[in-house]
Amino acid sequence: MMTVKQVSDISGVSIRTLRYYDRIGLLSPAEHTEAGYRLYDDAALERLQQILLFRELEFPLKDIIAIMESPTYDRKQALAQQIELLELKRQHLDDLIAFARGIKMIGVRAVDFSAFDTSKIDEYTKRAKEKWGNTKAYEEFSHKKRTSEENERLMEDFAQLFAEFGELKGGSPESSEAQAMVKKLQGFITEHFYTCTDEILSGLGKMYAADSEFREHINSAGGKGTAEFAAKAIAVYCGE
């Protein structure tokens, strides 16, 4: 048997929350001492683990009670479903991480941030998910599924492009070599992220030179002045 404090220590759930769970009938102690202190056995701890998994999936307490008190509740089946939903949540987070890296590296700031699906994964209660308007560019970007390792390699390849820009920055942005690099950059973005039209490319070029964060990131790959050179080469390519 474990006291409420011991359970709190090993689970990270506050004593106040454990008492609240008892009060609403979600998690009751196995017994009480003569002094009235709660004591929890292995079965109670196992139930707490199930509760915490549901909470990690952002299920409301009332739904957790309804699920776990249902006569058809099957612990093994519920665990399998929890694993599946956690994997979906992990994929969602991987997508957000990839998108954030895109914002940092290639300027996906042009994309409407309402494109994020902010709804919670909730297959049990079948709640309607919110749908936000997506831009075409983001739709293309979000449908490209990659592992975290693939994303890291992609960012390395993208940085290499600016390293190549850096090797040319001593020359003219109008040179055939510089213009070929711009074309290569546009093709890379189109292949791996979204269709990079001349209009989008022009906006990215302006952002590379004007935004301190982008400028610093690009210059770290190609050396000081690379971001400004790439921006000028892009402007020439786009006929500005």
pLDDT tens, 182-197?
A: 999 999 888 877 778 8
Q: Are 140 and 196 in contact (CB under 8 A)?
A: no
Q: How far apart are CA 24 and CA 62, in angstroms?
A: 9
pTM of the model: 0.46
Kindly list the structural domains of the chain, giving each domain's residue range(s) and its CATH number in brackets, ordered by start: 2-73 (1.10.1660.10), 79-142 (no CATH), 148-237 (1.10.490.50)
Mean pLDDT score of the chain: 78
Measured distance between the N- and C-terminal CA atoms of the chain, rounded to whole angstroms: 75
Q: What is the pLDDT of residues 112-156, one digit of tens each?
A: 333 344 343 343 333 322 322 234 544 444 455 666 677 677 778
For residue 40, give the H/E element and its range.
strand 38-40
Query: What distances in angstroms separate CA 59 from CA 68, 73, 188, one per listed residue?
Result: 12, 16, 41
Of 128 and 217, the one with more pLDDT: 217
Report the DSSP pairing between strands 31-32 and 2-3.
unpaired
39: its two tokens: 């004591």
